[in-house]
A and B are shown apart, each in its own frame.
Chain A
Amino acid sequence: MSAKNILIAGVGGQGTLLASRVLGKLFLSLGYDVKISEVHGMAQRGGSVVTHVKYGDKVYSPLVEPGGADILLAFEKMEAVRWIHFLKDDGMAIVNTQEIDPMPVILGTEQYPGDLDELLNELCSNPVTIDALSIAADLGNVRVVNTVLMGALARHLDIDVTKWEDAIKATVPPKTIDINLRAFYSGYNDCQE
């Protein structure tokens, strides 16, 4: 299989690193070559962060290039638009509708764009949106937004969900397995077309 490229974009602190680690375990367990490129250090402090995940028979560069992503999994709506040009023409965007204001917006020097939904529809065919924050809040833990989004992604990858379960169990802290699995399935079931 030629390499498949997934870009995970979000805001530092949203748990994108954990999500990429679940994906890494999953693809490795399926026998694929895998590379994941992460951001550490300064950008993690509430900045725009992106993780590159690539898998296939053989992966060379760990980085997804502009125009090269099969899937963009965006943890925040404006971050979806920031990274949308990384999608292939026929690539798919899965977008959490959560909005997090960056500092220039907080200070009122810039506006949080009001036309992001239109932009997303214009820039990619059929973006899939999900309100992962509300789903996580309903489950009683806003920190599982990342696993809800994993569920949404699982809906669009043709991989046995029990494999996902195993990867999640092997990655999250043991005490949180139950809530994370519930979050995963909530995301999986919410994300029907």
Chain B
Amino acid sequence: MKKLILGNEGIARGAYEAGVKVATAYPGTPSTEILESASKYDEIYAEWSPNEKVAMEVAIGASFAGARAMVAMKHVGLNVAADPLFTVSYTGVNAGLVIVAADDPGMHSSQNEQDSRCYARASQIPMLEPADSQEAIDFVKFAYELSEKYDTPILIRMTTRVSHSQSVAVLGRRDDIPLREYKKLPEKNVMMPAMAKKRQEAIKTRMKDIAEAASDMWINRIEMNDPSIGIITSGITYQYAREALPNASILKLGIINPLPRKLIESFAAKVDRLYVIEELQPVIEEQVKSWGISVIGKEVFPSQGELSANIIAEKVLGEAPKAGLPQRIPARPPVMCPGCPHRGVFYVIRKLGLHATGDIGCYTLGALPPLQAMDTCVCMGASIGMAHGMEKARGRDFGRKLVAVIGDSTFIHSGITGLIDVVYNQGNSTVVILDNSTTGMTGHQDHPGTGHTLKGNEVPPLDLVKLAEAVGIKHISVVDPFDLARVENVLREEVQRDEPSVIIMQRPCALLDRSPKAPVEIDQDLCRKCNVCLRLGCPAIQKKQDAVIIDQSLCNGCGLCISVCRFNAIGRTGEQDER
């Protein structure tokens, strides 16, 4: 059956058709839909793990136990999972194991740009790179064959434009792959120096064998046209190159680690001018150059951001297709939704003049105007350790003006160990957990605190209060973030306290809370135009000429603006007379 599917759905479909039994992930753009899609197949056990490291360990366990397994993550998730990654390269697999890493060139929804191909080289794990949804299916199935044939995990590199593009794919049937026998094999599966040294031999042999076989793999192909220009490329850049250079000869690589050297050498011999076109790092280019082949690469193509058909046409043909210039108009940055429970917390943090170490999620938007209430954002969970480090560096007085702000899913992902550090090493940090009972930014995935699993089962939710108690926090408050007076009082009190504390701001994400609330409006006679309500940064509150108005179609009725108005000028629509 032909269907239009996302690249990420293709990865899940490939796993299904390859007989995968266990699939794991932590959500992260642009990888999230892989597990969302895999979970819809009854034959696949699928889970949101608390973080990518755990997700990878679960998948490794499943593979060792004899079931084909998949783990998926975004590029920065691979950093979290890098520890098991480097050693599962040593152990190899029992049943096939595929690790999907989705890179985000151009940083559409990420804090940095990373090239996961560097991980493939560093960990000595073979890597395949599909260029559309059909290849996502086919390459995943092939990856399981390779994984079992060569006793190795296989990495698949996705990028945003492959993950989040729909293209036509033919869906096939599932292969029923029986469980492989489980054997206790300490020399293979217990990595300590004596065993690991022997496994290095296995890695060497396997990478050599795969490198030799790579040149004959069907996942690479040469499209021979005009030999005056030759292109070596893979993944989405193949699509850009094919569109920009319809007459060029192209070697499209399906396997990008190890590289198919013989194939590349024979292609290089057939063309006059050879380019390597790849997004981000010169991973292919540097290897090809090291073989004494002359290629043009990063001296003309940027190594930051995305490439495009126009960039390729300009660099190779010397001219880009004609296009006008962008107009100068106001930017439209993303904003917290109307009714977002995070908004009031940041409003108060700003009002109190506190510094806030921040974290990763929708609430990172609290760093933008007008709230501008976040000082830092580095990686998942960093807010807590960084607040602790700031206080150790600058002293207690600075600590009294500092909070760490972290979401519930992010706290479970990697904030817990930071909190343990604060208690253990006698810090005084005030940790604010913005608990909206979901993983918001990636599109509302469950996590251990929500009480539901990816497969839809009900489970006892992780109790953040008891967890904080167990860690050794003595001062724990649970606060409704719509109650701004209480938010302010608790924050004032806890930052002064010479002990660590946790404040859980608890209210569901505005997009999940469907309870109807009447919208609010501004009585223009009472409004003194002080603009305090505008400081909330709510998209429904707008300045029109001289007046401040509330867009009734956007207002979700949360009432924060009612609490911040000192002139009693804001009230529920239809309740004018009662004011």
User: Residues on A close to B: CB < 8 A?
Assistant: 11-13, 24-25, 28, 33-48, 59-63, 65-68, 78-79, 81-82, 84-87, 89, 101-113, 119, 123, 142
**Using a CB-CB cutoff of 8 Å, which residues 1-56 of chain B contact chain A?**
2-4, 6, 29-30, 32-33
What size tier do the contact residues of chain B reach? 35 or more
A34–B4 contact, CB under 8 A?
A: yes
> In the assembled complex, which residues on chain A have CB atoms less than 8 Å from the CB atom of B240?
60-61, 63
B443 touches A40 (CB 8 A): yes
Query: A28 to B326, alpha carbons, bound, how many Å?
Result: 32
Q: A37 vs B368: C-alpha distance in the bound complex, in angstroms?
A: 27
Task: Tell which of B147-155, B161-169, B202-210, B276-284 binds the partner.
Answer: B161-169
B164 / chain A contacts, CB cutoff of 8 Å: 37-40
Q: How far is the CB of B278 from chain A (nearest CB, A)?
A: 15
Query: Which residue of chain B has its CB nearest to the CB of A44?
Result: B334
Contacts of A110 in B (CB 8 A): 330
**B553 at interface (Cβ–Cβ under 8 A)?**
yes
Q: Is B539 an interface residue (CB 8 A)?
A: yes
Q: Which of B30, B165, B534 contacts A62 (CB 8 A)?
A: B165
Q: A40-B33, A61-B240, A61-B308 are in contact. List 16 more A-B contacts (CB 8 A).
A: A28-B168, A34-B168, A40-B109, A41-B109, A45-B337, A45-B362, A60-B239, A61-B239, A78-B329, A84-B324, A102-B332, A103-B335, A103-B368, A103-B370, A107-B537, A110-B330
Asked if B362 and A85 sit within 8 Å, CB to CB, the answer is no
Cβ-closest chain A residue relative to B28: A41
**Closest Cβ–Cβ distance, residue A147 to chain B (whole Å):** 17
> Is B166 a contact partner of A45 (Cβ separation < 8 A)?
no
Nearest residue (CB) in A for B539 is: A46
Q: Show 18 residue pairs from A and B whose CB-CB distance is below 8 angstroms, ordered by the A residue.
A: A37-B164, A40-B164, A45-B362, A46-B337, A46-B539, A59-B167, A61-B236, A61-B308, A65-B321, A82-B327, A86-B323, A102-B330, A106-B539, A106-B541, A108-B531, A108-B534, A108-B543, A111-B330
Given A68-B323, A81-B329, A110-B330, verify A62-B337 contact (CB < 8 Å): no
Bound form: Cα–Cα A97–B556 in Å = 24
Of residues 300 through 322 on chain B, the ones whose CB sits less than 8 Å from some CB of chain A are: 308-310, 321-322
Are B30 and A40 in touch, CB under 8 angstroms?
yes
Residue B79 at the A interface, CB < 8 A?
A: no
Query: Which chain B positions have C-beta within 8 A of A47?
Result: 332-335
Report how far A165 CA is from B344 CA in the complex, Å.
Answer: 44
Q: Do residues B322 and A89 form an inter-chain contact, with CB atoms below 8 A? A: yes
Q: Are B30 and A41 in contact (CB under 8 A)?
A: yes
Point out which of B3, B322, B334, B443 has the most chain A C-beta atoms below 10 A from its C-beta: B334
